[in-house]
Amino acid sequence: MKKEEKFYYEVHVYGRNGFSTSIVSDFELDEDERINLAVKQGRIDSEDVEYVDYTGELSFDEWDEHFNFDKDLLKKQIELQEEMQSKGLNLVTCGNCGTTIIHKTHSEEISCHGCGFKSEPCDFPDLFYMPSINR
Ligand SMILES: [Zn+2]
Distance CA 14, CA 11 (A): 10
- Contact at 8 Å (CB) between 111 and 118? yes
C-alpha of residue 44 to centroid of ligand 1, in Å: 23
Cα 124 to Cα 1, 68, 77, 128, 132, distances in angstroms: 40, 27, 18, 12, 15
C-alpha of residue 118 to centroid of ligand 1, in Å: 8
C-alpha of residue 108 to centroid of ligand 1, in Å: 17
pLDDT, one tens digit for every residue, the chain (135 residues): 444 578 999 999 987 568 888 888 989 999 999 999 999 988 888 888 999 999 999 988 888 777 776 667 778 888 899 999 999 999 999 988 889 999 999 889 999 999 999 999 989 988 876 554 444
C-alpha of residue 24 to centroid of ligand 1, in Å: 34
pTM of the model: 0.49
C-alpha of residue 73 to centroid of ligand 1, in Å: 27
- Contact at 8 Å (CB) between 102 and 90? yes
C-alpha of residue 71 to centroid of ligand 1, in Å: 28
C-alpha of residue 126 to centroid of ligand 1, in Å: 14
